[in-house]
Amino acid sequence: MDTKEMLQKGSQQLGVILNEEQINQFFKYYELLVSWNEKMNLTAITEEKEVIIKHFLDCLTVAKEFDFAPSTHLIDIGTGAGFPGLPLKIAYPHLEITLVDSLQKRIRFLETVTEELGLMQVQCIHGRAEELGQSPVYREQYDLCVSRAVAHLSVLYEYTLPFIAQGGYFLALKGPDVVQELAESEKALGLLGGKHIQTSTLSLPYSDITHSIVRIKKDRQTPTQYPRKAGIPSKKPIV
Ligand code: SAM
């Protein structure tokens, strides 16, 4: 199977139908990722099929569990090279997205991808979640927050929940085993205004990799003292 078919069929399995323009956007993204990766550290995975499976399709697994149609404003915390925010924007062009990362170089890459792919309504913000989460420009302004491979849930809730408006959702893309992490982060979740809705296990197409998607609903406001100052959530997680 060629890589185009792989992306098209793989995304279909996840409930995402990509048109020709969207397929081309993914391949353009791949080219930029690999060429910029020679100058800066963006990804350890560079082989085309692997990027399609372990980055692009991996980021789209959430589509199997979550209906993106009603969502409007999405924020991706610790997006790195744009995961999962950019694949979701390509798949769901109606989303207005904000990509956040604390590394300036990665933001320059994301701005280039956004421009080259002709994506509209994408904001790339350099900053730490702890600082942006205290700014009225971003705080409780999003109906959906996503994050992959950034921190333990007890820390991640403090990074992400402040951005979500009441009634909105947080989707954490996690590895196969999150039972212990969920238990260890219960206190942080309650304190920060979140409620656990569901954890689903999903398999990644063309692989034997399984994932957990943790779905959280923001049902109360986050107390103003959170997030704490930069570095504190990871040094002293709420336990
Ligand atoms: N989400 C991407 C992925 O799945 O490929 C990147 C994961 S990478 C392991 C973690 C990213 O989170 C890095 O790009 C790092 O700069 C960013 N990051 C870590 N702590 C952060 C914070 N407090 N605020 C904003 N970004 C943060």
Helix then strand then coil, in percent of the chain rounded to 5, is: 40, 20, 35
Q: In angstroms, what is the span from residue 16 Cα to ligand 1's centroid?
A: 26
What would the mean pLDDT of 212-219 be, rounded to a whole number?
A: 98
Residue with tokens 């080259």: 116
> What pLDDT is recorded for position 28?
98
Query: Cβ(54) to ligand 1 under 6 A?
Result: no
Residue with tokens 């409780």: 140
Average pLDDT, the chain: 97
- Under 8 Å between Cβ of 218 and 189: no
> What pLDDT is recorded for position 1?
87
Give tens-digit pLDDT for 4-56: 999 999 999 999 999 999 999 999 999 999 999 999 999 999 999 999 999 99
In this structure, which CATH number among 3.40.50.2300, 3.40.50.150, 3.20.20.80, 3.40.1160.10 belongs to the domain 67-233? 3.40.50.150
R_g of the chain, CA atoms, integer Å: 17
DSSP state of 222: P
* Percent of residues, the chain, with pLDDT higher than 90: 98
DSSP state of 61: G
Q: How confident is the model at residue 79 (pLDDT cuts 50, 70, 90)?
A: very high
Give tens-digit pLDDT for 97-144: 999 999 999 999 999 999 999 999 999 999 999 999 999 999 999 999
Query: Cβ(100) to ligand 1 under 6 A?
Result: yes
Residue with tokens 């009225």: 136
- Under 8 Å between Cβ of 75 and 162: no
Of ligand 1's listed atoms, the one at least distance from the Cα of 79 is 1
Query: Cβ(149) to ligand 1 under 6 A?
Result: yes
- Tokens encoding 128: 């730490």
- Under 8 Å between Cβ of 204 and 184: no
What would the mean pLDDT of 67-86 be, rounded to a whole number?
A: 97
